[in-house]
A and B are shown apart, each in its own frame.
Chain A
Amino acid sequence: MSPIMVIVVAVTGLASFTIPHYPTGLAIRLLRFLLLFLSAALGLFGLMAGLMAIALHLGALTSFGIPYLEPLMKPRPSLRDAVWRSAVFTFNKRPEYAEPLDQVRQKKFIRTWAPGVAEMARKESREGGDGGGEDGGEKGSRGR
């Protein structure tokens, strides 16, 4: 067994803990066997072929009529919930692709206890925005 093999096995093992969703972890475990066989047969070419097949399958999946990869398709705010994970308090609007009845998920400034945020909310409210949550807040509560 080569040193790089030990590194790869260790990284693979550790990486499996980064999947927060248990059923997804199980699915990935099964797919890993397929990729293992392809890699053993055709090397990196087989691995890429397997990954491409999985990517194409994901590309065709839909959930309640919404394509599975839709969050990745447009550089819109929802990308923050797909490629990287932004703070929950920044998700003020619901994803556009889900075509929600109420676009507003929560008012703009929800962390009024944080330093400076309450002041920002008051300032935006004075300037006629929805920062204080009068408009957004109402919509937000309707949405919830």
Chain B
Amino acid sequence: MGDRPGHGSRDEIYYTQIVVITAMIVFATGFLAAARVLVPVAGTAAWISVLIGGAFGLGIAVLAGYLAARFPDHSLVRMAERVFGAPLGKLIGLTFAAYCTVVLGLGSRESVLAMWIAFLQTTPPVLISAVFYVLIIYAAYLGIEAIARVSLIFFSLVVASLLVLTALASPVAVPGRLLPIVGNGLGPVMRAGFLAASYAGESIVVLAFIRHLKDKRGASRAMATGVATGMAIMAVATGFGVMMLGVRGISRVTFPVLETARMVGFGQFLERAEILFLALWFSAALLKLATVFYASITSVADVLGLRDYRPLIIPYALLGAALSLIPKTVLETFDYLNVFVRYSVWYTIALPVVLVLGAVARGLREGGDDIRDRDAG
């Protein structure tokens, strides 16, 4: 497979690329609607709850990185098989693939809705979804190395766009809307923080391909830096959403960040500048979804014992697209999202904890050569 696209002679991901990919996974789709999910619980302190969620996420990332350092040559499914044996390991692998698939379905639905509401109101959402999935299929076919390289380039553009948005929004933001600092009280803020941790917990997706990292000793640090970066971006987006729209305003809009972008402009020179921002955010969302899709199919391929994941691309893309079409309306999408953030956080904490405990209890370390690398052939 050495001559296939995306499988060049190097077949490795750098530290910075893992940082960027992790950050993208954490914030790329979530930041659009995070305020809408967190503000009803935490009130004006939604941005603090994002930071608390980030702290939870750092713990998850450190555990996941520790796991990667312990099993440097293994994907998550192979790690689970090694720790718990083949049948249970495969079962854990399947739950991981299912988790990734739900992240993919919900993430793509959110992104499609944002595109649809912002500037493609006359285009059927299913067509926007189809364009998304065509690109995701192409990215998955090329492999994680190509996705990682492009992510690094587009990440800087996306961050630059957010900095510009922040600078433009600063004069019209009302800091007083962040008061009271503790919002609805410490309890609700902590509860919202736990919900926000589900965004940070999505970083466990990286475990599917962390074995491509050049130096696994830096895995924990790379993932933690990525989570911190992603959650910092999300906290700023949520904070500015509250400062621009207020708590009541946020409950009335679908995507607070999009509305924030709508409220700012380059004087009367460039109108509807939010479309430019959204065009860049589209690239971030697409790269996140491509990464999650890649993680899903490689995990399923590992479970099925396939040496090449590519035959799974089309059927799995159809499955993801079908899942993304289940919520019929915007409100229904948010209902699903609320349920997802409430329960997925438990899974993202439990998975690395269980694997680390199992590996430590059995004294397992280092992958060994008994499990053949899928891409080596």
8 Å CB interface, A33-60 against B: 42-49, 51-53, 55-60
A67 B119 Cβ-Cβ under 8 A: no
| A44, chain B: closest CB distance, angstroms | 5
CB-nearest residue of chain A relative to B281? A48
With the chains together, A65 CA to B286 CA distance in Å? 27
Which of B10, B131, B142 is the one whose CB lies under 8 Å from A56? B142
A55-B154, A73-B149 as given contacts; A44 in contact with B275, CB under 8 Å: yes
B153 A60 Cβ-Cβ under 8 A: no
Q: Which residues of B contact A85 (CB under 8 A)?
A: none
A60 B135 Cβ-Cβ under 8 A: no
8 Å CB interface, B145-163 against A: 145-150, 152-154
A52-B286, A56-B146 as given contacts; A43 in contact with B138, CB under 8 Å: no
Best-buried of B6, B17, B115, B150 by chain A (most CB within 10 Å):
B150
A98 proximal to B (CB < 8 A): no
8 Å CB interface, B106-155 against A: 115, 119-120, 123, 128, 131, 135, 138-139, 142-143, 145-150, 152-154
- How many residue pairs link A and B with beta carbons under 8 A? The number is 78
A117 proximal to B (CB < 8 A): no
B85 proximal to A (CB < 8 A): no
| A69, chain B: closest CB distance, angstroms | 5
With the chains together, A12 CA to B148 CA distance in Å? 30
B145 A67 Cβ-Cβ under 8 A: yes
B16 A45 Cβ-Cβ under 8 A: no
| B148, chain A: closest CB distance, angstroms | 8
Mask, B176-217, CB within 8 Å of A = 1, is 000000000000000000000000000000000000000000
A74 proximal to B (CB < 8 A): yes
A60 B145 Cβ-Cβ under 8 A: yes
A67 B8 Cβ-Cβ under 8 A: yes
B283 A60 Cβ-Cβ under 8 A: no
Mask, A50-89, CB within 8 Å of B = 1, is 0111011111101001110100111000000000000000
A72 B152 Cβ-Cβ under 8 A: yes
Q: Which residues of B contact A49 (CB under 8 A)?
A: 131, 135
Q: Which residues of B contact A42 (CB under 8 A)?
A: 120, 123, 131
B143 A60 Cβ-Cβ under 8 A: yes
With the chains together, A52 CA to B153 CA distance in Å? 11
A45-B279, A67-B8, A73-B17 as given contacts; A59 in contact with B131, CB under 8 Å: no
Is chain B's binding surface mostly helix, strand, loop or mixed? Answer: helix
B87 proximal to A (CB < 8 A): no
B8 A65 Cβ-Cβ under 8 A: yes
Which of A45, A47, A57, A58 is the one whose CB lies under 8 Å from B120? A45
| B202, chain A: closest CB distance, angstroms | 21
B9 proximal to A (CB < 8 A): yes
Q: Tally A residues with Cβ within 8 Å of B.
A: 25
A59-B146, A60-B146, A67-B8 as given contacts; A53 in contact with B135, CB under 8 Å: yes
B5 proximal to A (CB < 8 A): yes
Which of B123, B138, B275 is the one whose CB lies under 8 Å from A53? B138
Q: Which residues of A contact B8 (CB under 8 A)?
A: 62, 65-67
With the chains together, A61 CA to B147 CA distance in Å? 12
CB-nearest residue of chain A relative to B143? A60
Which 9 A-B residue pairings sit nearest by Cβ, starting from the closest?
Answer: A59-B146, A60-B146, A65-B9, A60-B142, A59-B149, A62-B8, A60-B5, A59-B150, A60-B6
Q: Which residues of B contact A73 (CB under 8 A)?
A: 14, 16-17, 149, 152
B282 proximal to A (CB < 8 A): yes
| A36, chain B: closest CB distance, angstroms | 16
With the chains together, A121 CA to B154 CA distance in Å? 41
Q: Which residues of B contact A65 (CB under 8 A)?
A: 8-10
| B154, chain A: closest CB distance, angstroms | 7
With the chains together, A47 CA to B131 CA distance in Å? 12
A56 B275 Cβ-Cβ under 8 A: no
With the chains together, A74 CA to B149 CA distance in Å? 10
B119 A44 Cβ-Cβ under 8 A: yes
A-B contact pairs, 24 of them (CB 8 A): A43-B119, A45-B119, A45-B120, A48-B279, A52-B150, A53-B138, A55-B153, A55-B154, A56-B147, A56-B150, A57-B142, A58-B150, A59-B142, A59-B145, A59-B150, A60-B6, A65-B8, A65-B9, A65-B10, A67-B10, A67-B145, A69-B149, A72-B149, A73-B149
